[in-house]
Amino acid sequence: MKLDIANFHVNEIQFGEKTEYSEGILTINKKEALDVVFEDEHITEADLHIVRPGDEVRLVPVKEAIEPRYRVGGGPVFPGVTGKLMQAGNGVTHALKDMSVLVVGRHYGGFQDGLIDMSGEGAKYTYYSQLKNVVLVADTDEAFEHHEQQKKNHALRWAGMRLAEYIGACTKGLKSDEIETYQLEPVTKRSEKINKLPSVVFVMQPQSQMEDSGYNDLNYGWDCNLMLPTFMHPNEVLDGAMISGSFMPCSSKWSTYDFQNFPMIKRLYQEHGKTINFLGIIMSNLNVALEQKERAALFVAQMAKSLGADSAVVAEEGYGNPDADFTACYVALEDAGVKTVGLTNECTGRDGASQPLVSMDEKCDAIVSAGNVSSLIRLPAMKTVLGELEALARDGLSGGWSNDEVLGASVKPDGSIIMENNAMFCGDQVVGWSTKTMVEF
């Protein structure tokens, strides 16, 4: 499979009469874009905003991030989700770089929603403060979700994807600034030189714990809770096969933008043929019952061994219950003779003194930490809030609270906030964006 991602770098975003891209400037016809959003009758109100790095803007509750793209030759950007089912990972896809579409709730949030600051101290906690963002702020009539802690956010998430496809389509027929090419030879057809290198498989564990439909990550539109571990080409992930779900404490979340640009996949590609033989991806899942976790781990280990993997990288989306899947998979790979490195965050409490993972094993001796979800963060008021700041305290965001015996409410009368890192949108950046380092005392 060969995938060419044609990049169009966005230096500026503005509203105007015609949606078009020219010489680094993206212009959006706001009315047309909102018409795309309102194609879903459940959207009751919506507006678009443009925010840039350094703006004194706070976004909350943030639900999703998507990179605008266009599939050359036709077909949906997200096969099986926004259009017909078709193979991803082949051909040419246009991508608008240095920007994203952010989806923000106008009123109601949930524990899977987060916060982004575009400037100040808070900006360092999330990758999306570095991007120019088209922000969709909207509400729906899905009344059953208004006061539920766990939300599917279906209308808002799908509106974001449609909007990203609408914006990306303005690159149709244009010549890109650069092209990234991703290509792997079939596993059994590689050169002697490559086959002599240490072989590596990347094991991904996207969020899939909810047995009710509509919450989990999707693979070609397939609820990941229903799938068994399967071998995938990395190009499929980079080209829209994977969609972020709505169930996950927010700092641990992998947004759709993260899947489209997964840094760990790109890093393994960079080393392929040089220091490693990158075999591909085993797409696993995160299960509910212990037997389900053990079964998935056995499938992963068998696949890795059958592929001839010398080593593996395992990354989990989440913490807590998913830690049992993470360590079970790690141990099964080690028992199969596959040297394994883990990539995850930790939940060590506000004082950092608790056990980092729910499930531990002495064989899990090479884990890269992306930070502590429970670290306390204090941030001053921001000039502008898009969404509803009170959602952080009122609606059970995973890092916010309405009252604490010692700290009080997360949202203070002056607009300043105190929260756990948990509520930073995709803040732990387990996918590989993270710049966090360890400090010894």
**Position 439 confidence tier, pLDDT thresholds 50, 70, 90:** confident
For 292-336, how does the pLDDT look when each residue is reduced to its tens digit (9 = 90+)?
A: 999 999 999 999 999 999 999 999 999 999 999 999 999 999 999
- Is the pTM higher than 0.85? yes
Q: Is residue 440, in this structure, part of any structural domain at all?
A: no
Residue type (1 letter), 3: L
Domains held by the chain: number: 1
Gap between the Cα atoms of 384 and 338, Å rounded: 50
Q: Is residue 164, in this structure, part of any structural domain at all?
A: yes
Percentage of the chain with pLDDT > 70?
A: 100
Assess whether pLDDT exceeds 80 at residue 440: no
Assess whether pLDDT exceeds 70 at residue 229: yes
Q: Is residue 264, in this structure, part of any structural domain at all?
A: yes
Q: Is residue 324, in this structure, part of any structural domain at all?
A: yes
Q: What is the DSSP letter of 276?
A: B
Q: Which domain holds residue 319?
A: 2-423
Q: Is residue 213, in this structure, part of any structural domain at all?
A: yes
Place of tokens 């203070």: 412
Least-confidence region, from 114-128, 392-406, 426-440: 426-440
Assess whether pLDDT exceeds 70 at residue 190: yes
Within 8 A by CB and 6+ apart from 381, the residues are: 414, 415, 416
Assess whether pLDDT exceeds 90 at residue 435: no
Look at residue 441 in the predicted model and tell me its pLDDT.
66
Strand partners of residue 99: 132
Distance set, CA 402 to CA 149, 246, 279 (Å): 13, 22, 47
Neighbours of 194 (CB within 10 A): 16
Q: Is residue 430, in this structure, part of any structural domain at all?
A: no
Q: Is residue 263, in this structure, part of any structural domain at all?
A: yes
Gap between the Cα atoms of 388 and 408, Å rounded: 19
Look at residue 434 in the predicted model and tell me its pLDDT.
83
For the chain, give the mean pLDDT: 96
Gap between the Cα atoms of 121 and 380, Å rounded: 9
3-state class of 208 per DSSP?
Answer: coil
Pairing of strands 339-346, 311-316: parallel
Gap between the Cα atoms of 323 and 321, Å rounded: 5
Main-chain phi, psi angles of 196, to 5 degrees: -80, -15
b/e code 20-53 from CB counts within 10 Å (16+ = b): ebeeeebbbbbeebbeebeebeebeebebbbbee
For 247-289, how does the pLDDT look when each residue is reduced to its tens digit (9 = 90+)?
A: 888 999 999 999 999 999 999 999 999 999 999 999 999 998 9
Q: Is residue 294, in this structure, part of any structural domain at all?
A: yes
